[in-house]
Amino acid sequence: MCGISGIFDYQQSRPIDQDLLLRMNNTVSHRGPDDFGFHVEPGIGLGHRRLSIIDLEGGKQPIFNADGSIAITFNGEIYNYRELRTELKQMGYVFITDSDTEVIVHGWEAWGEKCVERLNGMFAFVIWDRNRQLVFAARDRIGIKPFFYAYTPDQHFIFGSELKVLLEYPGLPRRILPSAVEDYFTFGYVPEPHTILEHVFKLPPGHTLLVERGKPLPESKQYWDVSFDPHSPIITEADTDREIIERLQESVRLRMIADVPLGAFLSGGVDSSAIVGLMANISDKPVETCSISFGDPAFNEAKYADQVARHLGTAHHVEQVDPEDFDLIDHLSYLYDEPYADSSAMPTYRVCELARKHVKVAL
């Protein structure tokens, strides 16, 4: 993952406080430990913290178009970027990097707001278009990547990958939203578009936001949703079985595109076992897999993960977690920013720590 941040003056082109932007950007340094970048000009500031996955040398952000009038700060991965890159090259666009990020820049030039409809991936990004004096924000179809934003009393649009980015902004109201507390106790989290704070919002999955200087503040726009219309013609159970496997194979193949070591979390359950099995079929070397075990047999599923790992010949790593491990509570509350009830939060963090010792990307 990466971290993004930014400030847009949506009424004038006042100077952007570069020190403030750097502080906002640095709050998500844990999301992007490999590199950082920022761009500042009158009325706009873009920040980026990078976890390098594709084009390790050339993918530094923000990335610009040929004449420098369009810039992007991007968190995520575009799985069909090679196909889009070929199409855009045929349209005359010149690429100076091998990164998937630059595909979005030229996609904006070619297709405007509809560029998101062409992207197969997980993403949250903001594009600055100097010629049109606007910023365009987008979040992937099911909200894998986070995006927080607010309109400040001094008429700035501020955004970031985490709520704490926005809290660096002086003067941002910090009043708790009472209905968000009710939502938390109902759902275990605060659903989009709200956050725990009254004046901060989450861009919903499958939505975009176009903020133009000097124009009324917009509502977010939905570009995708799940369709529940009946499929026609009706297919057989055998056809359904075959299609599920084909789609899973393609999905896993696309997510294994990386210029860094890659592995998987393996719990021994159906989902992770299926994914690791498909990875093993694709990979030319043993898949790196990571599991968490518990001392209490009532909660310990490590033996199932071990059976799958031995069956598939993976390079398997296991770490035992103490069920009374409360050391992470303060740290997790800092990372999550707002109330979030997930009983797996601590073991998930621990398995990520374990994976980080061996790989940089985990399915």
For the question of residue 2 being annotated catalytic, the response is yes
Its sign, for the CA torsion 89, 254, 229, 142, is: negative
Task: State the Cα–Cα distance between residues 280 and 276, nearest whole angstrom.
Answer: 6
DSSP of 101-151: HHHHHHHHHHHGGGGGGG--EEEEEEEEETTTTEEEEEE-TT--S--EEEE
Contact 19, 40 (CB under 8 A): no
Cis preceding linkage at 347, omega within 30 = no
Decide: residue 133, CB within 10 A, 0-12 exposed, 13-18 middle, 19+ buried. middle
Strand 288-294 with 315-321, pairing: parallel
Residue whose token pair is 């049109």: 132
Catalytic pick among 2, 115, 290, 352 = 2
Question: Three-class SS string for 268-280?
Answer: CCHHHHHHHHHHH
Tell which phi-psi region holds residue 61, choosing left (phi > 0), alpha (psi between -120 and 50) or beta.
beta
Nearest C-alpha neighbor of 28 from the set 171, 184, 177, 145: 145
Q: Which residues are catalytic?
A: 2
